[in-house]
Every structure is written in structure tokens, then in C-alpha cells.
Structure 1
């Protein structure tokens, strides 16, 4: 089985180009997987009965004329080679045989046949030489007439073997192929058209325009870095938890080879998020060699980048590196850094952050630099710094001696940086202040370390926290400082549940008899219990905290505890509204302090508005919060962005949902947050305005990662989205399984609130489609009972009305279904649940179609289409369009979006009238694979033959 991960779309593009006779070049940095892609093409081509010929360029062999050509010919049937050679004039047979096979040739009276005017051998550097590389030996080491003869011979040879099967040429690292082989292969391939496919790989920054005769017509495809989810899939066989694999992904910047090497170093070690990823000696040696191989100017620019806090091209220019932009481009092409978007071949310019790949490469570079040189550069950078905080940082790093004035200056700069939202810089400055503090500032030193840890933890700046923690334990901290630090550690993303319990148990012992400190620990335990879906324990801990904080006279702390208590009460049917109102009264309606916004009464009030379907109120509140948190703690920003995506997905803000989801993904990657939290946001956005198949993959991966980390809350969220994606994709059985898991979890936790997870109506629909009507009726009755006496349930009631209408329709009660759908549509419109309003219109159209009222069904679908189009709800637009006019669903239409990439490609071929054997040849799979794939396509699109499929897609195959 192939272990290629995350390249299906790229392989599909390559296959499509090859099918159209277009030769392809795959370009990317070292370790990006270019050779692995050629391996996959080689395997697929062999399985499909292709004749696959492969050669690789090697720097040491670049000066050997015709070496690659002979490698290719050696893979051809000997009989075919003999046949072509025998057809040559006797005078040219020996030198051509020598060129093709490397066999000794006898002298000839006329070894040079007349040149072909169509062949224009280059006169410049050797073929494929990278920009700036020294030229190889002169091209005419094999003279032009012989190159012409070899080109004709290879053309005849490939034409002969391609009569039985298509030929695929795979050329790895063409920048290192000998020039003569490049010319001969290019000559032959161009004259055979699509009978011979060609895929080449190019190294980073290697051009393809230095040899027009051989490579001028290659279509270049960039091999991109892996996405986070893809890296996690790649590393799963190594046994790494998703959160650790996520950290490896960030360090490797999506380069598969580097990710595998870093993961290998973690395999035999405790894998905790935040532990620095060890750099294997072999990788460090390679990175060191690449650094030393850089020209002096780019290496000097990188050295300054390693000394800066979050370096940008603009900062580097300000520090005196006038050509910083070009220097960074050189480093990007060498795979040593990426720009702020994580791109390897992007235009590294402007104020985008420059990140080392891996992050510890900066340390490798600094180790190569003498301490005196580093200190001098810090002095220069201090002079060039614009912000006082950065100036103080460089001054401290230039002079490691303890100084009271510098320590206080650093602490002041840290407070200013924190106020400006630069929490990671603030945390580093607090730690530097503690490090530069002399003995007479011992008390201040412990406080600075505690504050530094508290500042860093909500932003998940794990390395800073771990670096400060060892010094803090030696600084004779007070009990209050110790408890504060332990509670801050619990804020780090990815901490396993067992670790949190241990940390909080020790914190409780440290709190002693201090009511306020004990209450702070109990409050954190309440929040953890809710995350683990233990609402009863959450209530118990929060009630204790409320009582103790009231006794201590801490109104702000009591408001926080009441907020946690209100959330747990909501799950179990307690007085959540009254409890939250008391919290808001104590703390005020606004968001909380930086880093704690997501635990504040104002935040929870906006969540309750969302649960109650007061969507405009929730939307406005969360957008106002975003302005506060976007320069604060990463955890706060991630929570607020998630809420905006959830509200927008229900209210129909399609464009904003996509933008906020992309932003949430960037925040998660920047701060190293648990990947399953970002996947939930992305899956939610994909369900409404993206791609159903991608939503399903994200939700499935997120559910597995959340389960591994013990995050029951996010496990439930992902399972609900997974159920929705499967249901809309036609897998009602899989949807029912996912949603029934949520039902079981809620029962075990005694959760009664139907407004939070909202799985009930989706499960009813899935069960109806499976024909399990009695079970659907039972779920519906249970959900209706949960609504009795609760406020804010009109929206849930409308969703249940729609599901019940589907149940009544299945039982033949059309009139009852109409009444329920009319009521649901009105409630959804009144509440602003516009996506649900559109879904109700679709359900009404299905009912009318069942009643044989075609015009009414079409009118309902057209009304739904207009609404979904206005909302930019792409997945719903595509679904309704396919229902309105399936025959017009041609290549690239929404109908094909129900299929996987491979299935869609094969469906297109069927629509074009291709046979199974022809499809196998064009898509590089076996005929059996084509047949099995067609069976799945028929089932998904509800057709029974290739004729029906071609008709559905509007192709000539009909």
C-alpha cells in the first residue's frame, strides 16, 4: 500500500496533463517529496500496464555523456533495441549502438549521418544546470550528427515499444542529467506526442529555460508543503499523538522528509506537546553543510534573522542588510527558511515573518558564530531597533552580566509589550529581567518569572514557559506565586488530562488554607471537568469556588466561578440564565482580561445567545471581542474565531465564515494550539461554504485527535460535524453511527440540554433514510421532551420540525409534513437561521416531488438556490443546482463534488466515452480498479450503467 500522503490532487493534475500529452516538471525544495511522487507514478503506471522508464541525474555523473540515455535504454526489451539497430545503415550502426548501450563500436567510414534540421542542440551550459552552477563539459563531447542519429534511434525505439503499451518516462533531478541525454530524450519525445509521457523533477530554484531543445515545453507544477492534517497522517504509523505530530509539522514547515526525520528522533521519547523536538545528528550535519554552502551575504542576513525576535525582511533591511529580500529568497530556495505564510517558493518580501526550517536551525547557525560576534551584532541591532522593548532585549542579550537598572528596564518594557499585545516578546523580556536581576532583587526576580509564565501560557509559548519554569522553582517563590504558575501551566494547549490532574493536585496542596488560592484551583478543576464532559463534577467544584471567593471578598474571581457554574448548569438543566446574570453583574458585561476572555462572563453570555439562536446578538458580541483579542493571547483569538464561524455557519455569513476559518487555522499554527480545535473550525466552514469531502476528512481526523487527547467536548463537536458531512454525502449509516456516539456520551454525562450539540434532528433524518422509522420516532420524542420548560429552544424546535416532516413523509402523511415545514420555515426566518431556512425549502421541494407536483418542487428548489447563493453557502448551492439540472452537471460541476478526486476523474472519462481499458491507461490504474471505482460512483450518484452516468454528466458517451 502506498504511504504517499496529501498528494492526490497533485497526482490528479499530473495525470490529467499526461493524458493531454503535456510533459510535466515537478519542482520543490529538498525533501518535499518529488522522488516519492515519481515512485507513485512508476507504481501506478506499472499496475496499469504502462512501460515505465526511469533515470536520475547525479552530480557526479553529469560530466559522463549519454549516461542517463543508456540507463533508460537498458530498461527496454533487448529484442526491440536489436531490431532498431538492425534497421540502421551499417555505417551508423556501431556508433549508435555505442551511444545507446555503451557497447564498444568498430570504426566506421561514415559515422555521422546527415543532421536533422529539426534538432537544435544548445550551445550554452549543460542541460538543466541550475542557475549559478558551474557549466559542465562542452556539449559537443558527443558531436551534433551523432546526437541526431541517437535522437532518431530513440524515437524509433520508443515508437516500436509504444505500439503495445503507452510509455512513461520519469526523470529525477533533471538539473543533474548529462546534457547529451537531455537533448536526445527531448528530441525523441517531442516527435512522439502523447504516446510517450514525461514527468521530470527539478530541485529548488532550478530553471528549465537553460536548454530549450530538451526542456522548453515542460509544464511546471510546484510540489507544496504538506498541510497539518497530512503531516499527522504521515507520522501516524510512528505512533506519535496528533498534537506532537502537529508540533513536528510546524518545525518541519510541511517538508515530509524533515518531518519523518524529526519524528524518528521522538519515537523512543515521552512525546509531550511543547517538548523541544530533538534534531537528529544526521539532520543537523546536513543543515550545517547547507548553511556553510550559502554565499556569504545570505548567510550574514540569516545570522541577523536568528538574533531578531520574529524577524521580517523589513527589519533585516533596517538593520543594514540592503539586499535582505534577495538574500531571503536564496535561503527560501535552499529550504532553510519559509516566509510568514509557510511557503517555500513564495515571494519573500514586505513585512512577512521569516521562519527557520526547522526552528532549531537558528540555534545551529548561532552555534557556528563566536560569542563575541553575536554580542557585537546585538549591539548593532539595538541601535537599529525602533521599539523600546526590542532595543532592551538586544541590549540584554549583548551583555549577560546582572544589572539592576537593566533588569528594571526590561520589566518595564515587558509590561509595555504585553499591553501592546506582544505577549511572546513580553514573556521573553520578563524572563530576561529575572536573569539580569542581581541578588538584592530576589523578590522581584520570582515575581518576574511568575508573570512571564502567566504571560506566555495563554498564548501557548511553550518553550518560554519551560525555560522560565526551572529558574522559578529555584527563586524561593511565595505560595501565591507558585499556585499562579501551576494554574498557568494548565492553560497550555495539548496538556493530557492526567497531567492536568497532577498539576492541579499539587497546586491545591500549595494553596494551603488560603481560601482565594484554593478557590482558584477548584475553578480550574471545574473547567477541566467540563472539557472532559463531567458536568456534575464541574458544578460541584464551581459551587465550592463561588463560596470560597465570596468569603474572600473577591468579586472578580466569583464572577469567573459563576461563569463556569452557569455553563455546567446549562448542560444539566440548572438555573444557568440566573447564574450567568449574577456573573455579568459582578464583572460587567464586557470581555475579560487579556488571555482570559474565553472564560469571562461576557464571552459566555455571547455563547448563550448563540445556543438560544439570538444570532445577531451573538454575532455582534463576538465581532466586538475579536478587536480586543486579535493582538492578545492566541487561545483567546482561537476561541472567538471559532464562535464567529459557528454563528456565521448558522446565520449564513458564507464569506466571513471562510475568512474567519482561515484566520483560525493561521492562529492555531502560529501558537501551536491543539490541531483538532482548528480542524473543527475548518470543517464547520467547509460544510457551508467549501467542500463536503474535505469537511468529512477534517471532522474524522479531529474526532480521532480529540479522543486521543481526552478532549470529550471537542470529540462531541467533531462527531456532530462528521455526522452532518456523511449524511449529506449519502452515507446515512455512517452518519447514524457518529451521531449515536454523541447521544451515548450525553446520556452517560446526564446532559439534557438539546441546544448545545444539536445532533438530534440530524440523527432523525439519518434513521429515516435508513428506514429505521421507529428508532427515528423514539429519538424525536426524547428530544421534544427535553424542550419542555426550557427557554431559547425555538430554533431547535424548528430543526426538529423539519426532521419530523421527513419522518411523516416516509410514513405517507404529506399533509402533516407540510404543516411542520411551514412552521419550521417561519421560525427559521424569524430567528435569522438562514441556512436552516434554505434546508427547509429543500425538504419542502422533496416532499412536493414525492407528491408528483413537479412545478412546485422546482419552485422550491429555485427559491432555495437563490437563498443559498445570496448566503454564499457553496456546498448547498452545488447540491441544489445538481438537483435542478443534473444533465447540465458537466466536468467540474457540483455533482462531481460528491465524488472523491479519483472517482470524479474516472467519471469524466466515462462521460467522454472512454472504455475501462482506456481509462486505466490514462489514469495510471488497473482495469480492476476502474471497475471497482465505477461501482462506487454508480452507488453515490444513484445510476445503474455507464450510459446513465454519461447522460447525467452531459457527456458524448451518452
Structure 2
């Protein structure tokens, strides 16, 4: 079925799971033979336990035969493959950009005919390769590509393939087991012996084939030997071990060399054998025993045979094998593998080997292999004779492990590094990393205290790093918000004001951010505005020096722009983050950037486009297995007036945030509920939602909450609370100086003013909001002005404002606010016009996004690169788009009125 679907232009993915020896590899071999006979191109990769520390080794196995087609890829994807495979220098590629490159590479090859990718022993793939292949497996759809994986159940650790279609293999039934056993033995067996072997094999085919070979004469004669208590895989491995134990000494050593070098390169094996004085004739007994085959490549009968041979060898023989492989490996062509083998050949410590391995760690880190770099550094530390240098390398390994997402491993390495000796700066960096891990692990309140303590310690040692740590403490305290059990933003600000080292000259963007936030929470909102505006200007520039890494602070800067009602900076930062993530293929940061951009688009009135981006976030979440970010979806549902959806999201988000101690999410959720209830005209509920962020002065949510509070309080009969909020809002808006902030303040004054002066404020609000990006608030200004005019008895003037509000809000999709405008219009005696259904209404959010991009003239390949899909998938979507819009070409799409 999969073969037919692939030939017809569809993809297929299957993960075959089961214990060692259950037949997974046999299924892959059968698939290879069947596919080859049907015209498939078949490419393979096999994970090897000894290879798990070599970044992208498994991916290179699969892709190496295809790299002649790499020139067809977009330049960033070509560069990513070249850097990852060590073929060119350049910045470390985002791991999932490689996924897109591999997806496009396979899709391009599949244009010539269907492709089958077989990946065996996935549990032993290096982490980087496994993540890339999992991404590809979740993105194939319209390509003629089939991915077939085999993974052993018993290996612990994260499973990047979780959630993909799978088939689990169970053992053979009794009659089939007997038939296979009879075939394996070839002579009649005592019935008791037969029953015992079948019982111990538990239906495992490889066990049924191997256990009789390793059985003693006593067992085969009558079954009186005492059975061993071991799992089936262990019994199979023991069988392979016993079989190799009877081979000549030189043959056993040759087997150890073959087991220690997982690339399977026969020429390398023979060079290493020559280093040991072993001739080619020594291979014959091993091949005759059925343990391995040597041709152009070296093949073990089963991965368990490889591990059995290696682990059965004495440590001296293992070291001899690795030393020979190091000597036989070309130091120019493969310096990292040579360094690894050399490191494994050392007994005790060896600074030269440690230094070589540390240099390799630097190279693999530059290729994006942080997990491999951590492993190399950890081994380098073990080999380092000098205690101080050993502690330094262990600390570096901890940073690399944390960067690779292995926080538990990083904490273990930190504990080893803490044994020292470390100098004062290294001790401070150790505590900083420990604090960063605590924050990233919980996002709760403990991280701020730890980060603040680390910043204080770093102050006299490394001023620049100390200032960055203070900003990280601000981030952590911001996350904890009102649920903080440690240091809140005010406490962090007071500490920074008193103890942070002075900024360099000229100050970096992060320095301006630190000084502005410190001022905000020590001297007040108004005093902080000038410095924070300078910080936003610096962060909005694209020409910052690379060493400043301003991208680290974009997330916090977006919240500063919200606090200042700086809609231009918010748009620039969010759109820049999306653009940079797309250009670099940073799929790990793209969802957060798209989430921020979706919030911007909601407020600019482009709710359909926001939905398109959230659809893309969903696709990325499915591809990466990461949970989707809910806050933009919540804001969108609130502005659309979808009460049941918004309420359900609120309940789930608040419960999760409360459990984690993440108070900022409570403020964000309350603001969204205030949007919802003001749109529905449920003013007491809106007031109840908007009050807590304002009273707590939540950063940055109080700026979003106060306009909602004023509208709700003025309509719910609480003029005193509304008046107090208006006074504070007006003061902050004047300090901010943005048209957005001043427009909101004018609208708030209009809502709380009695008599003719109110109209002056309404008109000012419309004028100012008309000069900013936030079209939703402009439409609402028309709405409240129209409501006020109707209450003044000026029905004709009211109709004009309400009609404008209704048309704007309806076109945006702000359904609850539009319904509120419609009710007011009807109260003036006018029936609001219903929005005419459009052909584009039939498009899904993803189809609408693709249509919009293609309408600008983008090719399928360009759209595919932006949306992390393949060109063939884009073409499949286009066929659906053409059918729904009743058009036949891209030219027609360019002329079609898209929303």
C-alpha cells in the first residue's frame, strides 16, 4: 500500500518497534528488496552505539549519496548541509534548518522517482541526526518519499519519533517458533530441549536462531543444564560472545577493531589491522562463524554481535583497537574521529589527547553539534591531568550540555566542576549556569533569586556578563510576576541600581535595557521612558555587532514596547524576529516569533493573517513535537468574541501558569478576558478581569489593561475607579509620546468626560489612533464615539461613526465588537449591512497564507522555504486553492482580491 501511495505522489512514514532480535532489521531488508524491484531509489542509515557522539553522522550516511543534488537547494540550506557535514566553514546551522534542507533534498531526488529511506537502530543515532530525521518525517506529505525507521524498545532516553505512525513487532507464535528452530538446528531435538529453547526465546526469531548455536552439549543432549536468568537480548549477546571466544586471538582482535569503528569502511579496518600486525587471513574464521562479512564495507550479522564482541574484549584490547584506528584515520580528512579514537586508547590521563579532543569539540560546536561538543569536552576533562584545566573543561562541557538542552547532564557536570579548583570568575560562571538551568527548567520564581545572586558575584569580575545576568534576573522575575516567592522586579531593580557595574562606552542595547528597566522599577514609569526608547531603537537596528547577540533580548524588548505603547517598535521587533528566524532556519525560535507577530496582527486588525501565522505555529509544533504557545491564540479568540473558546483557553492557561508559578501569564490572560468581555458588553466581568493587572502594575500588562479598565468601569457605574485610571494613563501616555498611547488616553478621557468636552477627546482619539498601526483600537474609538453620539440624541452623526466602526470591525473579524456596533446601529434605526461571503472564506488559514505569498510572485520553492514545507507540498495546496477559488493559474491568483 505504501509503495503504491508513494508511486502515486504520496509520502509514507512508519516506525517499526520491538526488542532486539525481534525482526525489525529483517523487515527493513524486505522493504529494501521489494522497493528496489519496483524502481525505488533506496538510501540507508544505521545507528551505531559507538557513533552516538558524532554530530550528524547518521544523517551523513543517509544524505551522502544525494549531495550531488545539493546545488539545487536555496543557498542557506546548501550552507547548512555543508557546515554540518564539515565540508565548509560558517556559522553553526540551526538544527532544524538542516531538516528543511534534507526534506527539500529528498523531495528533489523524488522528482526522478520514488525514494525509500531506511533508518535502522534509531536508538543509536546521534541526537542531531535523530532530531533532523524526526522533523523530516513529520513534514513529508506530497513527496514520493517513504521513511521507514526501526527502533529498539529497551533503550532509555528521549524518543524524537514519538507520535509517528508505528508498528510494534511481537514474538512468533508457538508453531512458527518450532518451525524456525527446526530450520536453525537441522537435526531432531529432544522435545524437552525444544520446549525449553522456545520458552526462553519467547518468540524472538534471532534468539531461536542463535541460542542453539551457543548451547552446551549438556543442554542439547537432554536439557539438564541449569538455565541462566537473563533477558532474551542478553542471551543472544551471550551467544555471540561465546561464539567469538573460540576464535584465534588475532581474529578476536580484528573483530574488536571492526566493532570499535562503526563507519564500516573496509580500507580503514585493514589499515588499522596492519598497525596491529594482523593480516587479511585473520578475517576468515570470523566470517566462517557468521559474525561479520567484509567486502567493500564491514557488516556485522546483528548490532548485538557488534556490542557483544566489543564488550567481551579486555580493556587493553579495546585500547589497542582504538589506538590502531587513531593511527589509521586521516588527521586532515577526519580529525574529530581520530581524536575520539585516540582519547579512547588512553589509560589514565593524557594532556595531548585531551587537548586534541577539546579542539574537536570546538569544531563540532561550530557545526551545530552541541551535544557532541559536550561529550567531547566531558571526555577531554576525564583525560586532563591538571586539576584546574580539568575543572575548566568540565565547566565548558556543562555549558555545551545546557545549550544542547540536556539540563540534567549539565547539572551533573556542574557538580563535578565545582570540585575545582576554579578561579573566582569560573565559580561565578558556574553559579550563573546553575541559575539559568533553574529558570529554564521551571520558569517560576526561584530563578530570579539565583540569577540575581550570580549577577552580584560577577559584578567585580566581569562587568559585561554581570549586566547581562541582571537582565536575565529581570526576565525571570517578570515571568514569576505576582506569584514570585523570591525577588520580584522591584527587588531586582533595587539591587541593579545599587550594585550593577557601570555600562561600557558606548553602551550596548542590553545595557540600555538594564538601565531602563532599573529606572522603571525604582523611579517610575515616566522616568524610564527615555532610556527604554533608546534601548528599543538599538534593538530594532539590524547592524548590531554579532558579539552583542541582540536576538537574545528581543523577547523582553517586545514586552517593553507594549509597556510604552510603542506600536512601531513592537511591529519592527516582532517582524524582524520572524524574518531572522526564517532566513536562518531557526525553527526553535520561529514559533515564539510567530506568536508575537500574531499578537501584533490582531491589534492591527489583521485577524485572518494572525490566524494564518498561528496555523503555521501548529504545523511547526506537529513537526517538532513542541507544545504550541497558547497566548496569541487566546488573544485572537478574545478579539473575535468567541466566548467558549476563550474561556476554555483561560482556564487551561491559568491553571498551568499557577502550577508553574508563572505570574505574568495571569496578567496576560486577564487582559485577554477584558478584551472579550468589553466586546460582549459584559462590563462588570471586563472590570473584574482588567483590575488585577492594573493594581499589581504587571509588566507590561498594566499598559494593555488600563484602557480596558477605563471603558469597563465607566460603563459598569464605577466612575471613581475609571477617573483614577485615566489620570495615570494620561501621565504615562504623555511620557511615552506615541500616537498609540496618546490616542488611548484621549479615548479614556472621552469615556469619563461629561458634556461637550467629551467630543473633543473622542475626535482626538480617532485622529491619533488613525496615525498608528493599531486599527482595532481605532475602530473601537469610532464605536464608543458613536455610542456617545446616540446617547446625546444625535442619531445621524451616530450612524456615521457606528457604520464606520461596524464596517471596520466586521472586515477585521472582531465579531463581538462588530455585533456591539450592529446593536447600536439598529438602535438608531439603521440596519447594518451583512458582510458578503467571499470565495476566500473557503480557504484554510494555511491555504490563505500560501495564496498570499504566491500572489506576490513567490515560487513554490520560495514559499516552501519560508513555511518549512517542500515545493511539492506547496503545489498540492495550490491545486486545492485553485479549485476553491475557481481559478486555474498563478497569474489569476495574483489578480484575485485576497483579504
Alignment TM-score, normalising by the size of structure 2: 0.51
1:566 — aligned with what? 516
- Pairing partner for 1:479 from 419, 424, 428: 424
Aligned pairs for 1:707-856 within 5 A: 707-729=658-680, 731-746=682-697, 757-769=703-715, 771-775=716-720, 777-784=722-729, 786-787=731-732, 790-792=735-737, 794-803=739-748, 805=750, 817-847=758-788
Aligned pairs for 1:74-85 within 5 A: none
Structure 2 distance, partners of 1:858, 1:341, is 55
**Change in 2 beyond 3 A, CA 1:561/1:431:** farther
**Change in 2 beyond 3 A, CA 1:736/1:875:** closer
2:378 — aligned with what? 434
TM-superposed CA distance for 1:819, in Å, is 3.6
Give yes or no for the alignment of 1:649 onto 2:392: no
**Change in 2 beyond 3 A, CA 1:502/1:838:** closer
1:495 — aligned with what? 442
1:45 — aligned with what? none
Q: Are the aligned partners of 2:710 and 2:722 in contact in 1 as well (CA < 8 Å)?
A: yes
Give yes or no for the alignment of 1:304 onto 2:47: yes
TM-superposed CA distance for 1:538, in Å, is 2.0
Structure 1 distance, partners of 2:646, 2:147, is 29
Q: Are the aligned partners of 2:425 and 2:458 in contact in 1 as well (CA < 8 Å)?
A: yes
**Change in 2 beyond 3 A, CA 1:558/1:418:** same
Q: Are the aligned partners of 1:382 and 1:395 in contact in 2 as well (CA < 8 Å)?
A: no
TM-superposed CA distance for 1:699, in Å, is 4.1
Describe the superposition over 1:481-530 as per-residue Cα deviations: whole angstroms up to 9, x where unpaired: 23223313333423364643674587479769747487676565455344
Describe the superposition over 1:447-482 as per-residue Cα deviations: whole angstroms up to 9, x where unpaired: 444344435546755355346435534564433223
**Change in 2 beyond 3 A, CA 1:588/1:329:** closer
**Change in 2 beyond 3 A, CA 1:737/1:689:** closer
Aligned residues: 591
**Change in 2 beyond 3 A, CA 1:775/1:608:** same
Aligned pairs for 1:39-188 within 5 A: none
Give yes or no for the alignment of 1:682 onto 2:623: no
TM-superposed CA distance for 1:828, in Å, is 0.5
Q: Are the aligned partners of 1:598 and 1:639 in contact in 2 as well (CA < 8 Å)?
A: no
Q: Are the aligned partners of 1:696 and 1:726 in contact in 2 as well (CA < 8 Å)?
A: no
Describe the superposition over 1:420-464 as per-residue Cα deviations: whole angstroms up to 9, x where unpaired: 6x3xx2353143233145325766554444344435546755355
TM-superposed CA distance for 1:542, in Å, is 1.4
Describe the superposition over 1:588-629 as per-residue Cα deviations: whole angstroms up to 9, x where unpaired: 9655767953565x8877765554444334433444455556
- Pairing partner for 1:542 from 483, 486, 496: 496
1:340 — aligned with what? 135
2:528 — aligned with what? 576
Structure 1 distance, partners of 2:653, 2:611, is 18
Q: Match of 2:704, SS? A: coil
TM-superposed CA distance for 1:568, in Å, is 3.7
Structure 1 distance, partners of 2:233, 2:832, is 64
- RMSD between aligned residues: 6.1
Q: Match of 1:575, SS? A: helix
Structure 2 distance, partners of 1:389, 1:542, is 50
Aligned pairs for 1:847-866 within 5 A: 847=788, 859-860=800-801, 862-864=803-805
Q: Match of 2:135, SS? A: coil
Structure 2 distance, partners of 1:446, 1:632, is 35
1:224 — aligned with what? none
Describe the superposition over 1:311-337 as per-residue Cα deviations: whole angstroms up to 9, x where unpaired: 998963547999974657999xxxx99
Structure 2 distance, partners of 1:416, 1:340, is 24
**Change in 2 beyond 3 A, CA 1:398/1:637:** farther
Q: Match of 1:494, SS? A: helix
Q: Match of 1:360, SS? A: coil
Structure 2 distance, partners of 1:824, 1:720, is 21
Structure 2 distance, partners of 1:566, 1:481, is 29
Q: Are the aligned partners of 1:802 and 1:820 in contact in 2 as well (CA < 8 Å)?
A: yes
Q: Are the aligned partners of 1:339 and 1:354 in contact in 2 as well (CA < 8 Å)?
A: no
TM-superposed CA distance for 1:740, in Å, is 1.8
Q: Are the aligned partners of 2:578 and 2:593 in contact in 1 as well (CA < 8 Å)?
A: yes
Give yes or no for the alignment of 1:697 onto 2:661: no
2:127 — aligned with what? none
Q: Match of 1:772, SS? A: coil
2:476 — aligned with what? 528
Aligned pairs for 1:246-257 within 5 A: none
**Change in 2 beyond 3 A, CA 1:513/1:686:** same
Structure 2 distance, partners of 1:686, 1:650, is 12
TM-superposed CA distance for 1:576, in Å, is 2.0
TM-superposed CA distance for 1:695, in Å, is 4.2
Describe the superposition over 1:247-283 as per-residue Cα deviations: whole angstroms up to 9, x where unpaired: xxxxxx9x9xxxxxxxxxxxxxxxxxxxxxxxxxxxx
1:360 — aligned with what? 158
List runs of 5+ in structure 1 lacking aligned partners.
1-130, 133-204, 208-252, 256-285, 896-958
1:292 — aligned with what? 22
Alignment TM-score, normalising by the size of structure 1: 0.49
Between 1:883-892 and 1:446-455, the stretch displaced more is: 883-892
